[in-house]
Structure 1
Amino acid sequence: MLQDFKGFLSEYRDSWNSLDAERMAAHNSKGFKAIWANPDSITSEWGYDEAKEGWIQAYQQYQGRSPIWHFEDVLININNHEEGVVVCWVSFELDGKMTDVKLLFTQTFKKENGEWKKIREYVENSFANERLKTCTS
């Protein structure tokens, strides 16, 4: 099951970098729930529709700027509920240059009708690449 999930995760991340909001939204369960901690420490709760709209807006905002998301895995595993769980750092490149933004994601996926779908996501914001390098050295 873990190898199957890791194969899916590679496809999911390809979708993330595809700039195709429909393709990205197709990986979410209709019951998807997310909590994002914004840079100002205020949390936002999102569902399926808000997440899809968020990808549409992000991809439009970055159009023509060659955005690339980079993933640094902390954990990839299957939990006791047969859900795929990922904890990872996500950094971001625009116009061929790394930005100072680094986000901490916890994502949970479950098989629905034979396909992995994201059911939950929690995101912490306000980490800077340079600050993290100093703390982890």
Structure 2
Amino acid sequence: MDFQNWLEQYKTAWTTCDLDKMKEYIAKDYQAREIRRGELMDFGYEESINGWEQGFQFVQESDGVWELKQLNHYSLHPNQEMVVLMATIRLNDKRVPTANLFFETFEEKEGAWQLVRSYIEAGLPSDNIDEY
């Protein structure tokens, strides 16, 4: 599958809170760095899945919806792509006050695309989405 089609499936798994698909789409050797209020946190696959599970549960229990905006896309290498996404949640048709900016690196391994690295700026004002 080409990257663009796969990326649409990845974003759909995110916006529909499909944890099983996210588990498939994230590499077991995934590495991430998140900055929130100036504090740095590094984490891997297990912590990521736990975070997705909590986030998806919150969205579903709150009757919320993900608002996901793709800001840019870069080809890094023949089998590596980076996508910049901004994400927030809408509750009762209003955005929550914060959003996260994701720099996601995807790699094709054995014919399948997977998320291998993330750099995340968390807790940004959600109104920033409108600036892009």
TM-score bin, normalised by smaller chain: 0.7 to 0.9
Q: TM-score, normalised by structure 2?
A: 0.86
Which 4+ runs in 1 deviate beyond 6 A?
none
- The residue aligned with 1:59 is 56
Gap runs ≥5 in structure 1: none
Q: Is contact 2:95–2:126 with CA below 8 Å preserved after alignment?
A: no
Q: TM-score, normalised by structure 1?
A: 0.83
Deviation at 1:33, TM superposition (A): 0.5
Say how many residue pairs are matched. 132
Query: How far does the alpha carbon of each residue in 1:17-73 deviate from its partner, in whole angstroms, 9 at most, with x for none?
Result: 2223222121001110011112x3211111111111111122223333223222222
- The residue aligned with 2:93 is 96
Q: Is contact 1:66–1:96 with CA below 8 Å preserved after alignment?
A: no
Q: Is contact 2:10–2:25 with CA below 8 Å preserved after alignment?
A: yes
Change (3 A) 1:80 1:113: closer
- The residue aligned with 2:110 is 113
Q: Percent identity?
A: 24
Partner letter of residue 7 of structure 1?
A: N
Q: Aligned-pair RMSD on alpha carbons? A: 2.2
Gap runs ≥5 in structure 2: none
Structure with the largest fraction of strand: 2
